[in-house]
Amino acid sequence: MAWFDAGVSAVLVGVGLLHVVRLVTARRDGRPAAGELAHAAMASGMAAMFSPALDPLPPGAWTVVFGLSAAWFTAAALRDGPAADDAAHHVVCGLAMLFMLVLGPHGGQAASAGHAGHTGHAVAVAGVPIGVSGVSILLVGYFAWHGMRCGDRWASAAHRVGPRVPAAVGGPPVVAGCAGSDRVAAGARLGALRTARVAAVAHLLAAASMAVMLLGAI
């Protein structure tokens, strides 16, 4: 289904560009720039997985990107403890991307092909697809839960009342969570793209795309 892969890839490119815009405006809105950068990288990496022929990076580059991302946010999660909700999510995202990179595009097909070959090593190989499926099921469950959480936060942001105000200069960083911060000044340039509602939709699309990829490995 090349048309489906191309369509999802195009959507993810759009999500990545959105997070680039949000990255540029992160400081003035009081959002963590590292989180927006990680979301942009994840969307771009998934777009490359759905359409490998259009991937501009050399082999192994995405492994470095998501390895560094997972390590960075693991350190942040250990430093901040229970308050590091967003950091913990990025750790899972980084590990999930590394998992998919190990499997390659449409990992479930690759695992099945590997299981079909080398019949003389059936005992050793038989456990591989089972382990891959188990990890994939856990990750699909996580991203399904995350998608529902984003839906809830979209609804919460939609019903939030009161004027938007810019982040205080020099104030404490805002914990973005799933939907991000809504501290955007009324009438701000590109203000619609910088709201929590738009972030929640972008995160939901990314979570759904990740779940679709992972389902191929079950």
> In 10 A of CB 7, how many CB atoms?
13
Q: Is the pLDDT reported for residue 97 higher than 60?
A: yes
Is residue 175 over pLDDT 80?
Answer: no
pLDDT in tens, 3-56: 899 999 999 999 999 999 999 988 887 788 999 999 999 999 999 999 988 888
Taking the CB of residue 182, how many other CB atoms lie within 10 A of it? 21
**163 — phi, psi (to 5°)?**
-70, 150
Amino acid at 122: A
Residue 117 scores a pLDDT above 50: no
Which residue reads 């709201």 in tokens?
Answer: 195
- Smallest CA-to-CA distance from 8 within 206, 218, 214, 217 is with 206
3-state secondary structure of 15: helix
Predicted confidence at residue 75, as pLDDT, reads 93
Neighbours of 193 (CB within 10 A): 17
Per cent of the chain over pLDDT 90 is: 43
Q: Quick one: pLDDT at residue 133?
A: 86
* SS (HEC) of 194-205: HCHHHHHHHHHH
